[in-house]
Structure 1
């Protein structure tokens, strides 16, 4: 059987590409694998030759040592690949299919899956509802920053591209379907973005830029992207966004300079728990700052989408409350303004097929907008380091040299 190489977390600040076992149709013991999942038989799974697998900001939280991820965990939840083997119970997925893998692992059988809430499947993670590949406390499913990856419940989870040649011509765009494009779109949809909307997006990382792309796709009139990194703000401006540097002045004041009023119709938090302060506090970690800001700048009766990651445990937090996932929120303000909030994992399958069609038929340029940059799997550590330093790029790992 073929070998495998994968990106492995080796402690705070360290990832290494190592030789690992080729996937099998049984979940084996290993770092992060829940004991109740060990020995789980997977006749419903497919093995993929990974065509593209991305570095995500959520991975970066683990690599910075800001979660309880164990050393030895194989990383990566953004997977696009070619089916090379299927289990005996796989009926519709065929060898040779080129597919996108939602980062949510879902069984398709439980109440939540049947209701379209695939981000909180009840059956794949003994720790809590919801699971993902290569992620802390998500059941122990091996990550996909690898040459080969296993996808359980293949007939349910995989999105097949209808034409291989067309798909390979747009593979950089289609690689965004596994996570950041649906996640950004979910943030915009749940914030209520529609034709003529004014939108504030906190964070110009890949998810923030995907949310901005989605806002335009949904018909927004003005999209304002906020960040501390000048290169990332420049990337947002490259496709028509207004931008504000939150280190320079209060976001509400800068919004008023753009719109003539200090509030927007909709807001998206694409930053999450490693947020920094604004203005003079820009160099200090303030995990509640973004949430409080989006509540402040959203009009009364508006909505806030929160695709940015928040955790139940952060060993690197600056105070004890934040280490337990407890933040000092101005919730009274949000209540008084009758704001709506949507949190949690994006249910990727709710959006990925529609976004695939938008890509294939030239209605969006998500890879250009997030500055997708392809590097070999062996350069994964370099990609993680550059991303950690604020590179205005979305790194795509190319394990087999299929992208070029």
Structure 2
């Protein structure tokens, strides 16, 4: 069998490359594998040669030591790959197919999967509903920042690209279908973005930029992106977004200036829809920009969003954060101004994006040149051996979406 090198979490601030077992159709014991999943057979799975596996902000939370991830965990939940072997129960997926892998693993037959809630599948994680590759407390499915990876329930999970040559030409765009493009789109759909909407997106990282791209695709009139990072704000401006540097203070006044006479009332810098693409490691505004304040984004979005509006929350929040600013934050308990949201009749949608709800439609938008998501998030392919540098640069705020390219199929 071929060698299989992978990116491994080695402790806070450290990742490395290590050779791991070539995938088999059984979940074996290892770092992070739930004991109830050990020995689980996957004849419904396939083995992929990884074409692309992206570094995600959610991976960074683990690498910073902000979760309970064990050392030795194989990272990577944003996977695009070529099928090199199929299990005996696979009917429709064939060797040679190039496919996108939704980051949330779903079984297909459970109640939630049948209702389209694939982010909270009931069958793949003994600890709680919902699972993902290479992620803490998600059942222990091996991550895809590797040369080869197992994908279970392949006929259900995989999105096959219709033309191999076309897929390889657009591979950096299509690589965003595993997570950030559907996740950003889900945030906007959850917030009710539609034709003529005014939209505020907190966070100009890859998910925030994907959400901004999605807002334009959905017909927004104004898309405003807020962040502390000047380079990332410049990236948002590169495809038509207005920007707010929240290190200058509360974003409300800047939003008011942008909306001008289109604001609903004098003195009310209110948008129709808002998206939290930051999550639990949020920092404050203005003088508090260097201080971690995990509820800041959610509270500011309630302030910025009009009465009757909606807030999408694709940004990650956790139930266990060893590095939390206080005891409450370490348990995922935040000081939210829920009374304000209630008084304004806001609706909130949280949790994993159900990728399969959106990925096929977004694939068609990419294939027919309706959107350039790789350009908008500044997708940058790098070799597997450069993973540690990619994690470091991304952690320092690089305005890039790093795409690991283990087999040189993305132009690394």
Q: Counterpart of 2:318? A: 311
Q: Counterpart of 1:403? A: 410
1:236 aligns to 2:233 (yes or no):
no
Pairing partner for 1:363 from 370, 381, 397:
370
Q: Give the whole-Å Cα distance in 2 for the aligned partners of 1:192 and 1:147.
A: 39
Q: Counterpart of 1:10? A: 10
Q: Deviations over 1:77-131 (max 9, x none)?
A: 0000000001100011100000000000000010000000000000000000000
Q: Give the whole-Å Cα distance in 2 for the aligned partners of 1:279 and 1:398.
A: 39
Pairing partner for 1:341 from 336, 344, 348:
348
1:265-284 to structure 2, matched below 5 A, reads 265-284=272-291
* Offset, 1:170: 0.3
DSSP 3-state at the match of 1:275: coil
* Offset, 1:252: 0.7
Q: Counterpart of 1:54? A: 54
Q: Give the whole-Å Cα distance in 1 for the aligned partners of 2:97 and 2:182.
A: 21
* Offset, 1:2: 1.2
Q: Counterpart of 1:74? A: 74
Provide the TM-score with structure 1 as the length reference. 1.00
* Offset, 1:249: 2.1
1:324 aligns to 2:335 (yes or no):
no
Q: Counterpart of 2:206? A: 206
Q: Give the whole-Å Cα distance in 2 for the aligned partners of 1:70 and 1:397.
A: 22
* Offset, 1:214: 0.1
Q: Give the whole-Å Cα distance in 2 for the aligned partners of 1:365 and 1:175.
A: 12
* Offset, 1:314: 0.3
* Offset, 1:403: 1.5
DSSP 3-state at the match of 1:280: helix
Q: Deviations over 1:194-248 (max 9, x none)?
A: 0000000000000000000000000000000000000000000000000000010
DSSP 3-state at the match of 1:149: strand
DSSP 3-state at the match of 1:36: helix
Q: Give the whole-Å Cα distance in 1 for the aligned partners of 2:250 and 2:356.
A: 37
DSSP 3-state at the match of 1:174: helix
Q: Give the whole-Å Cα distance in 2 for the aligned partners of 1:141 and 1:203.
A: 29
* Offset, 1:305: 0.2
Q: Give the whole-Å Cα distance in 1 for the aligned partners of 2:250 and 2:144.
A: 40
Runs of 4 or more off by more than 4 Å in structure 1?
none
Provide the TM-score with structure 2 as the length reference. 0.98
Q: Deviations over 1:179-200 (max 9, x none)?
A: 0000000000000000000000
1:289 aligns to 2:273 (yes or no):
no
Q: Counterpart of 2:120? A: 120
Pairing partner for 1:379 from 368, 377, 386:
386
Q: Give the whole-Å Cα distance in 1 for the aligned partners of 2:34 and 2:380.
A: 34
* Offset, 1:175: 0.1
DSSP 3-state at the match of 1:304: strand
Q: Deviations over 1:330-375 (max 9, x none)?
A: 0000000000000000000000000000000000000000000000
DSSP 3-state at the match of 1:143: coil
Aligned residues: 404
Q: Give the whole-Å Cα distance in 2 for the aligned partners of 1:19 and 1:9.
A: 13
DSSP 3-state at the match of 2:248: coil
* Offset, 1:168: 0.5
1:87 aligns to 2:90 (yes or no):
no
Q: Counterpart of 1:130? A: 130
Q: Give the whole-Å Cα distance in 2 for the aligned partners of 1:86 and 1:42.
A: 10
Q: Give the whole-Å Cα distance in 1 for the aligned partners of 2:68 and 2:177.
A: 27
* Offset, 1:3: 1.5
Q: Counterpart of 2:266? A: none
Q: Deviations over 1:14-49 (max 9, x none)?
A: 000111110000100000000000000110000000
Instruction: Give the alignment's Cα RMSD to 1 decimal.
Output: 0.4
* Offset, 1:279: 1.1
DSSP 3-state at the match of 2:5: strand
DSSP 3-state at the match of 2:90: coil
